[in-house]
Amino acid sequence: MGFGNMNKMLKQAQQMQAKMTKLQEEMAEKEVSASAGGGAINVTVNCKQELLDVKIDKEVVDPEDVEMLQDLILSAVNEALKNAQEMMAEEMNKVTGGLNIPGMF
């Protein structure tokens, strides 16, 4: 392989890295929501895996069954985080053309 090809590959890698960095910044602003308990619990996360909002209907708050409320919150948060990861992976796949880069998502 000649140096011309190597330089071309390095330049392409740098361009891909710049696109991935820009995408990560853009995706940090994207929000994903999920619910549990038939909509009794609603959560919103961003693609940086940060919990942004939690809404709980009054009807689901039962002092005698706190465990159910905890389970519903966990379920909604985990679903939202999973959806955010999938969204990030889809967008990264567009940039990388399906190239699996460890540690990116």
Per-domain boundaries in the chain? 27-96
* Residue range 24-58, pLDDT digits in tens: 888 888 999 999 999 999 999 998 889 999 999 99
| pLDDT tens figures, 54-92 | 999 999 999 999 999 999 999 999 999 999 999 988 888
Its CATH class, for the domain covering 27-96, is: alpha beta
More confident residue, 82 or 7: 82
**Given this model, what pLDDT does residue 41 score?**
97
pLDDT at site 98? 66
3-27 helix and 66-96 helix, angle to the nearest 10 degrees: 150
Q: 34: closest CA among 2, 91, 74?
A: 74
* Residue 68: both structure tokens together: 């159910």
Q: What is the pTM of this model?
A: 0.74
